[in-house]
Structure 1
Amino acid sequence: MQVKNHKLAKSISDVGWSAFFEKLKYKAERYGKIILQIGQFEPSTKICSNCGYYNSEMTLSVRDWVCPDCGMHHDRDINAAINIRKFALDRQNLIGI
């Protein structure tokens, strides 16, 4: 989201995300779904979703990588999605199938 008023940019963006999240929660409840949240700073892209290795050297420019421990090839976004699901299920003490 591009916000032109730099003095209010963070506040405007926060309100936008807050409103979106409230609508999302409403829709989820309406359809009997559950929304699971994780922390904003969880290292979802830097952790191997297969073995749990933490790749501390990875920068934002890296789009895919191979885990030095287990050898699994990861697409950054797919790996992050898998880890986000794991973090959310773990936080809620749920098991993913």
Structure 2
Amino acid sequence: MSDESSDKFDIASQVIKVLSDYFPAGRRDIELTSRLVQDLYVDSISLIEIVMALNETFGIDLPEDRVGLWRTVEDVCETVMSSRSCRASDLE
């Protein structure tokens, strides 16, 4: 497994763990293709809590404009990966 695919898997696992803490759906029921609103019933309050939890978990600040585009768990993972990459390049 390449470092990039390993990172994607690790991030996806952590994102799913954070999401499972907020929703009645268990970790096994949350997949990358799960839709936030239709499948996981994310509302605006939950979304704010999720963003705060992800920011804390990953040590990042998720951009509001990207968060507003989230439709699936995979969208969340991509934003987290992008934000981590930006943060790493800022630290160099």
- How does the TM-score come out when normalised to structure 2? 0.27
- Richer in strand (by share): 1
Structure with greater proportional helix content: 2
